[in-house]
Amino acid sequence: WVTLGNGSMEIIDMVPRAFLDAGDEVLLPCPDYSPYTRRPLLYGGKVVDVVPSGQDFQYDLKDFTSHITARTKMAIITRPNAPVGNMVSKELIEGLLATGIVVVVDEAYAEFSSQTLCGMLPQHNNLIVSRTFSKAMGLGGIRLGFLLAQPEMIGIIERIRVPLNVS
């Protein structure tokens, strides 16, 4: 249910590498944490920007589902969003999970929001939650991130892991 990364940046790199094929699409809120806009491109993915229809950068499910095509493989959402700070609703995440695409929720700032989606993991085999020790715990120097998902998803990511990545 957990795997480690050399910082959350390695997690950000491993997820698209593990799941994307050339031409696959990734839905990303716009604006969002910039590495998510670049990493899928390295593995042949196409980034589809999702612009919020609501005020104050608030998204609804249709903002995302209106962009889903046969090539859509995943959505990556920071929760709370970096840099905007808004919080995508749990109901929106559940709606995305119901589409069958892989939904990656970056909870790097979850300790500041008092909200997490980790409790949803047992019910959703297409949910990945990533976390880091560098933000709320102030341990950026140890370069340790982690990813939570069901064992099948962890197994897919483990196949592309660089050996001895965490020391």
List per-residue pLDDT tens for the chain, 167 residues long.
899 888 788 888 999 999 999 999 999 998 887 778 889 999 999 999 999 998 888 899 999 999 999 999 999 998 878 777 788 999 999 999 999 999 999 987 666 667 899 999 999 999 999 988 766 556 556 678 889 999 999 999 999 988 877 77
Q: Using DSSP, state whether 137 is helix, strand or coil.
A: coil
Residue (of 88, 98, 100, 37) closest to 63 by Cα position: 88
| Residue 140 per-residue DSSP state | G
**Cα distance between residue 126 and residue 133, in whole Å:** 24
pTM of the model: 0.90
Q: Using DSSP, state whether 52 is helix, strand or coil.
A: coil
Q: Using DSSP, state whether 51 is helix, strand or coil.
A: coil
| Phi, psi dihedral angles at 34 (to 5 degrees) | -60, -35
Give 105's strand partners: 77, 129
